[in-house]
Every structure is written in structure tokens, then in C-alpha cells.
Amino acid sequence: MKKSESQKSKSPSQLIDARIKELGDWRGKMLSRLRTLVKEADPKVVEEWKWRGVPVWSHDGLICTGETYKNVVKMTFAKGAALTDPSGLFNSSLDGNTRRAIDFHEGEKIDEEALKTLVRAAVTLNKSTG
């Protein structure tokens, strides 16, 4: 069976599960933890699978993505430039007018409460502009 055919038969959540398992290292564990925190912050979040293999979380519009690279797991917030970030989580894509991202590296601790606050702020922004 071709990869595209097998992907079509799976839900976005199943595809994200498969990506986490496929990574099999700290990146998979980090992506899994970030996913859990997004779901804790917004139990009504919708998981999607876009752009040939990027986990996406939405609620009344795109909240953020969970991209995995060789040395980093990146959470990109679609409207991050419009969000208040009192904890200073954003550390990547700071020059753009719209997006902001957080790069997580191996062994790095997540400020879980600050991240959940940021996710909730993104949902509130989506609701106010949607």
C-alpha cells in the first residue's frame, strides 16, 4: 500500500501518533508532551495533519503547529505576533508580522503553565477575530 493511501485511511490523531512513534527519540517525546499540553489547555482543540506531515492544532482557526527537525521541535503559533508573551516563550521567527515560534531543544524544560496560557490566548484571539 502506498504511503498516501495509508495516510488517507487514518485520522489526523492517528497520523500524529504514528509520527511520534516514528521519531522514537527525544523529539517524539517532546512532540507528545507539547500535544498533551495543547489538549489540556483547550480540550476542544481539533487535531489536523497538513502540509505533507505537520501536526496542527486548531480551534476557530489555526492555533499552532508542531514541526520536528533534526535538532529542534518547533511550535509555530499562526497569530503569535498578536499574542502577549509575558513569560518570553517565543524564541524563533521573531521578525515576522504574524507568526511566532518556540524552538524546543533536547533536554530543555517546558514552562508548562506559560505554554498553556499562550495556547488559551491564541484560542481567545481566534474567537475574537473569527
pLDDT given for residue 2 in this prediction: 45
Instruction: Return the axis-axis angle of helices 26-41 and 12-23, rounded to nearest 10°.
Output: 150
pLDDT given for residue 1 in this prediction: 36
119 vs 113: CA distance, rounded Å: 10
pLDDT in tens, 54-108: 999 999 999 999 999 999 999 999 999 999 999 999 999 999 899 999 999 999 9
Read off φ and ψ for residue 15, nearest 5 degrees: -65, -40
41 vs 25: CA distance, rounded Å: 25
pTM: predicted TM-score of the whole model, two decimal places:
0.91
CB 127 within 8 A of CB 60: yes
Q: What CATH class is the domain 3-129?
A: alpha beta
Q: Give me the mean pLDDT over the 2-20 stretch.
A: 80
